[in-house]
Chains A and B, each alone.
Chain A
Amino acid sequence: MIVRILGEGQLEVPESAVEELNRLDGELETAVEHNDDAAFRTALEALLARLREVGSPAEPDTLEPSGLIVPQEDATMAEVRKLLTDEGLIPG
């Protein structure tokens, strides 16, 4: 599966790793729901660290859309909230 880290590009991730990534992502989502900044930071870092471990850079010229998209490392909780609606995207 192709996973995009915003600001960094796409990674090719083996299907076997997806379940674990989803679990880490669940912690991120809970942190956002509880508005818990410290937990948010920890969860985002853990998710990205694991993703970089299991993933390898996708071919730069692939036009395949990503199956999952992860916020950038220095994203704030407010930025992530915006990404969950389409406010975070540049119009057009």
Chain B
Amino acid sequence: MGVMKRVQLVFRAKANKALDRMEDPRETLDYSYQQQLELLQKVRRGVADVATSRKRVELQLNQLQQSSDKLERQARDSLSAGREDLAREALQRKAGIQAQLADLQTQYASLQSEEEKLSGASQRLQAKVDAFRTRKETIKATYTAAEAQTRISEAFTGISEEMGDVGMAIQRAEDKTEQMKARAGAIDELMASGALDDMVSGKQDDIQAELDRIGASSSVDSELERMRAEIANTAPKQIEGTQNGAAGAESAKEPAEETANAQVVDQVGDSE
């Protein structure tokens, strides 16, 4: 006997056992119908749970993608500032995030497929439960308890198989969702700890701080340069040493001015 037949017999045996426990066959119908409605509720909750989990993963995927893009930009900025060390650090972090992303994408696809399966199971069960309700009313209206026995068995066995199948599908989806929750929680923790850049809070990371510092210090340098030039032009007498240096630096461009400055120095020297 093959796998298919053996599995079928296991399902059948389970339905028969449940039927044997019932005393009045017609009560069986009502009791089973209640169970079916409960299972329908459960499978719908299952679909909603998987969807919630999927949306959370979706949000994390977006955050990780933004982090990765930002690190890429930082690596470029670092390179243009001549800081290969910083660029290397940014790219290493980006590689870490890419690995997380790839893993999360696989999980996301699996949750998506679980959601579809469960939603299909919910629809199939709904169709059978509706059919069972109609059959139940017909049986109760038409037959005595004794006559109804066979028909009840048939309907019960059919719906019981569907319920067993849906029950297992819910279990599988719950297992996957639990695994996902654990992973999503771990990534949230990483983000909270600052190991992953948190794009939502906009908190600054150390690479960005270093890049900002480089940016700020180069603008300080250019300010200093500008001031030196201004001072050299307007107040040469008061700071002679600096003025001499500045004059020297400018000598190539401004030979006429240098001559003028030299004369001033001479005059100062004369007056002493």
> Interface of A with B (CB < 8 Å)?
3-4, 6-9, 21-22, 25-26, 28-29, 32, 60-71, 80, 83-86, 88-90, 92
Contacts and interface: CB of A to CB of B under 8 A. Distances in A.
Given A9-B120, A63-B128, A69-B4, 15 more contacts: A4-B8, A4-B165, A6-B7, A7-B172, A8-B117, A21-B4, A25-B3, A28-B2, A32-B3, A64-B158, A65-B11, A70-B3, A70-B7, A71-B3, A88-B168
Interface of B: 2-8, 10-15, 35, 117, 120-121, 123-124, 127-128, 130-132, 135, 154-155, 157-159, 161, 164-165, 167-169, 171-172
B121 A25 contact: no
Which residue, A65, A70, A85, has most C-beta atoms of chain B within 10 A?
A65
B161 A66 contact: yes
A65 B169 contact: no
A7 B121 contact: yes
B6 A22 contact: no
B12 A65 contact: yes
Contact of A84 (B6, B35, B154): B6
B165 A65 contact: no
Contact of B8 (A7, A26, A63, A68): A68
B12 to A, nearest CB: 7
